[in-house]
């Protein structure tokens, strides 16, 4: 009950030294290293070891085929920026993008053909330089006789596809149609938002001038993981982008060190519920008194309606309607839950030895409201019916009501207009959850200077959605706050006031600040990000 917590401790096994293998297995070595030692090496070092293996005299040996496959897969993992991982890395600690690339590496070298490979945003969490290597691997799979279907927003994938299918025209209930399909050249001729981006008619909106830092926050001696203990200065009162290749130390610096100091996170198996310690560092100076980590977790989100605190003003609005006054129904009656399901909208049926089944409540039609609420209609809709409407639809009905207009308008501005008002929080994607949190912060309109930290907020978004999202983040900065985004997307980086690039590589080869300055200053350098940033700045 307290594994890894306050009252218990874990010790390394004295017999195997933590290797989990018997001595006779550890006695077998390759290039002087046991299988445990090889598994603990970063993949980049493991590949170097395999290159030193003497294969003379093993021309027909089955082990030679295994060595060839290992080298091929390791080389791919290095090309897509995963050279900092090791073979003993626990799967649960991998990001979704890392896990997907590892699965793809398993396909390479398998020599299987006639497969249909379906990938959902394989480029997420990848630096642009690594996306090209990923695309080359997918092309190799296709050339081997397989069909590769990719759900992507990256322009490089769109231009490189053999066949392109554009869904739309909008999102949610406004989407679901194929608005264009064909070769990339054919899709570019269509009258769609995607086509306009591919033709270059739509561009990112660069600020007329970069903001001048109000003052500086300084991270002294950060040494967690691969960080080198350098002094890192972060400008306040700006939109700052933190970039770099995969494994360069971005998350370690901004989330594990800065984030855990300013936003203590309670996350432990211990019943004592102690906060997780921040990454090793000396001190942080000049930080704002308030900091918010707008992560991609769904924790605390039951539905858009509840999270944006729209229910109370809606009940007040309906209680003041003509129907409510005529029926003598007040706010208290409208807020009462269904007496059968207690407001849950569903009832539980016990199935004995089988899992319980939840079915919609017949008494309230699954809405969770008392019967009286159905009798009050305003602008053609009863209060319970709003549960099944989208943010866009509710805005159409009540966009002129001051207490409702701001959160609804902001939700639409970050591309969430398609969400259903009572959509369960667990059904939201990580990107949707993060954008909903951004809207919640904008609605609060706090006057206290705040630092917001976001980890890849553009995951799962099209170029049009990204442009809208960054405009919303700019609004936070205009209100006097500081926004830090950990990002790979060159379009987002081009719209920032200040950039901090870590690198030059991943894992042991990273952890250094290799560039810092405005996007124009970073683009003039010779770093992994500079080339792609320079292209965006030249196009706009």
What are 399-429's pLDDT values in tens digits?
Answer: 999 999 999 999 998 889 999 999 988 888 8
Using the predicted structure, report yes or no on whether residue 1 has a pLDDT greater than 70.
no
Q: Give me the sheet containing 290-294, strands edge to edge.
A: 290-294, 450-455, 482-486, 239-243, 498-503, 512-517
How high is the mean pLDDT of the chain?
90
pLDDT given at position 188: 95
**Helix axes 402-413 and 391-398, enclosed angle (nearest 10):** 140
Closest CA to 252 of 435, 512, 490: 512
Q: Is the N-terminal amide bond of 169 cis, ω within 30° of 0?
A: yes
Pull the structure tokens for residue 317: 């609005």
Pull the structure tokens for residue 513: 């600040």
HSE-CB of 409 using CA atoms within 13 angstroms: 11
Using the predicted structure, report yes or no on whether residue 170 has a pLDDT greater than 90.
no
List of E strands, 475-522: 482-486, 498-503, 512-517
Using the predicted structure, report yes or no on whether residue 540 has a pLDDT greater than 80.
no
Closest CA to 219 of 10, 493, 453: 453
What are 237-263's pLDDT values in tens digits?
Answer: 999 999 999 889 999 999 999 999 998
pLDDT given at position 415: 85
pLDDT given at position 4: 57
Q: Give me the sheet containing 215-220, strands edge to edge.
A: 232-236, 215-220, 283-285
Closest CA to 338 of 362, 312, 313: 362
Name the more confident of 139 and 80: 139
pLDDT given at position 343: 86
Under 8 Å between Cβ of 142 and 148: yes
How many residues are recorded in the chain?
540
Domain covering 24-162, topology: Rossmann fold (3.40.50)
| Cβ-based neighbour number of residue 47 at 10 Å | 18
pLDDT given at position 270: 46
Residue 353 to residue 247: CA distance in whole angstroms: 47
Closest CA to 159 of 168, 171, 147, 150: 150
R_g of the chain computed on alpha carbons: 27
Q: What angle do CA 255, 499, 438 make, to 5 degrees?
A: 55
Closest CA to 67 of 41, 30, 33, 99: 30
pLDDT band at 268 (very low <50, low <70, confident <90, very high): very low
Beta-strand pair 232-236/164-168: unpaired
| Residue 285 burial class via C-beta count within 10 angstroms: exposed 0-12, middle 13-18, buried 19 and up | exposed
Residues 6+ apart with CB under 8 A from 60: none
pLDDT given at position 204: 84
Percent of the chain with pLDDT over 90: 59
What are 60-95's pLDDT values in tens digits?
Answer: 888 888 898 899 899 989 888 888 899 998 887 787
Residue 439 to residue 503: CA distance in whole angstroms: 32
Percent of the chain with pLDDT over 70: 97
Pull the structure tokens for residue 89: 């890395």
Using the predicted structure, report yes or no on whether residue 181 has a pLDDT greater than 90.
yes
Using the predicted structure, report yes or no on whether residue 377 has a pLDDT greater than 60.
yes
Using the predicted structure, report yes or no on whether residue 495 has a pLDDT greater than 50.
yes
Exposed e or buried b for every residue in 449-488, given b needs 16+ CB within 10 A? bbbbbbbbbbbbbbbebbbbbbebbbebbeeebbbbbbbb
Under 8 Å between Cβ of 269 and 2: yes
pLDDT band at 275 (very low <50, low <70, confident <90, very high): low
Q: Please state the CATH superfamily assignment of the domain spanning residues 306-311+335-425 in this structure.
A: ABC transporter ATPase  like domain (1.20.1580.10)
Q: What is the dihedral of CA 531, 533, 538, 540, to 10 degrees?
A: 160
pLDDT given at position 508: 85
HSE-CB of 438 using CA atoms within 13 angstroms: 35
Residue 243 to residue 428: CA distance in whole angstroms: 26
What are 424-459's pLDDT values in tens digits?
Answer: 888 888 788 988 999 998 888 788 999 999 998 888
Every domain of the chain with CATH number 3.40.50.300 lies at: 24-162, 215-301+428-539
pLDDT, mean of residues 333-351:
88
Beta-strand pair 33-34/29-30: antiparallel
Using the predicted structure, report yes or no on whether residue 387 has a pLDDT greater than 50.
yes
- Per-residue HEC secondary structure of 327-370 comes to HCCCHHHHHCECCCCCCCCEEEEEECCEEEEEEECCCCCCCCEC
Pull the structure tokens for residue 79: 């090309």
* Phi, psi (degrees; rounded to nearest 5) at 194: -60, -45
pLDDT given at position 271: 45
pLDDT, mean of residues 283-292:
94
Using the predicted structure, report yes or no on whether residue 321 has a pLDDT greater than 70.
yes
Which CATH number is associated with domain 215-301+428-539?
Answer: 3.40.50.300
Place of tokens 């200040």: 498
Element spanning 79, H or E: helix 62-79
Beta-strand pair 482-486/239-243: parallel
Residue 120 to residue 451: CA distance in whole angstroms: 32
Beta-strand pair 239-243/498-503: parallel
pLDDT, mean of residues 225-236:
95
| pTM of the full structure | 0.85
- Per-residue HEC secondary structure of 247-305 comes to CCCHHHHHHHHHHHHHCCCECCCCCCCCECCCCCCCEEECCCCEEEEECCCCCCCCCHH
Cα dihedral 466, 468, 471, 473 sign: negative
């Amino acid at each position: 009950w307290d594994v890894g917590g306050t009252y218990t401790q874990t010790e390394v096994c004295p017999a195997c030294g933590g290797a989990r293998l018997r001595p006779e297995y550890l006695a077998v070595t390759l290039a002087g290293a046991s299988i445990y030692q090889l598994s603990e090496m970063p993949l980049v070092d493991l590949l170097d070891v395999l290159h030193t293996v003497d294969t003379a005299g093993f021309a027909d040996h089955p082990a030679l085929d295994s060595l060839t496959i290992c080298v091929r897969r390791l080389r791919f993992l290095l090309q897509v920026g995963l050279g900092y991982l090791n073979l003993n890395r626990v799967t649960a600690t991998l990001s979704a993008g890392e896990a997907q690339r590892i699965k793809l590496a398993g396909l390479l070298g398998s020599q299987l053909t006639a497969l249909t490979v379906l990938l959902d945003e394989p480029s997420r969490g990848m630096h642009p330089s690594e996306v090209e290597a990923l695309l080359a691997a997918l092309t190799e799979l296709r050339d081997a006789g397989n069909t590769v279907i990719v759900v992507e927003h990256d322009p490089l994938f769109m231009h490189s596809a053999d066949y392109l299918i554009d869904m739309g025209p909008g999102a949610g209930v406004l989407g679901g149609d194929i608005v264009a399909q064909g070769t990339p050249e054919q899709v570019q001729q269509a009258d769609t938002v995607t086509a306009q981006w591919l033709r270059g008619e739509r561009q990112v909106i660069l600020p007329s001038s970069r903001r001048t830092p109000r003052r500086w926050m300084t991270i002294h001696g950060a040494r967690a993981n691969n960080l080198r203990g350098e002094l890192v200065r972060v400008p306040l009162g700006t939109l700052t982008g933190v970039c770099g290749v995969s494994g360069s130390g971005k998350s370690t610096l901004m989330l594990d060190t800065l984030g855990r100091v300013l936003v203590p996170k309670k996350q432990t198996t211990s019943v004592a519920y102690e906060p997780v310690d921040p990454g090793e560092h000396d001190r942080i100076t000049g930080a704002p008194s308030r900091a918010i980590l707008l992560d991609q977790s769904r924790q605390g989100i039951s539905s858009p309606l509840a999270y944006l605190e729209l229910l109370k003003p809606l009940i007040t609005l309906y209680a003041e309607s003509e129907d409510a006054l005529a029926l003598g129904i007040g706010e208290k009656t409208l807020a009462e839950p269904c007496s059968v399901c207690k407001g849950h909208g569903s009832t539980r049926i016990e199935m004995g030895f089988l899992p319980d089944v939840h079915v919609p409540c017949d008494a309230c039609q699954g809405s969770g409201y008392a019967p009286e609420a159905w009798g009050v209609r305003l602008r053609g809709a009863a209060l319970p019916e709003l549960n099944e409407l989208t943010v866009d639809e509710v805005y159409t009905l009540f966009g002129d009501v001051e207490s409702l207009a701001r959160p609804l308008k902001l939700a639409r501005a970050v591309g969430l207009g398609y969400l259903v008002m009572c959509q369960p929080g667990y059904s939201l994607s990580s990107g949707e959850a993060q954008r909903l949190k951004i809207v919640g912060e904008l609605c609060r309109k706090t006057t206290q200077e705040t630092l917001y930290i976001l980890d890849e907020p553009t995951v799962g978004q099209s170029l049009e959605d990204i442009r809208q999202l960054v405009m919303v983040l700019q609004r936070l900065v205009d209100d006097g706050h500081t926004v830090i985004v950990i990002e790979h997307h060159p379009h987002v980086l081009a719209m920032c006031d200040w950039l901090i690039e870590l690198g030059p590589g991943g894992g042991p080869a990273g952890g250094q600040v290799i560039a810092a300055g405005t996007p124009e200053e970073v683009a003039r350098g010779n770093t992994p990000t500079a080339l792609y940033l320079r292209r965006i700045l030249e196009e706009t």
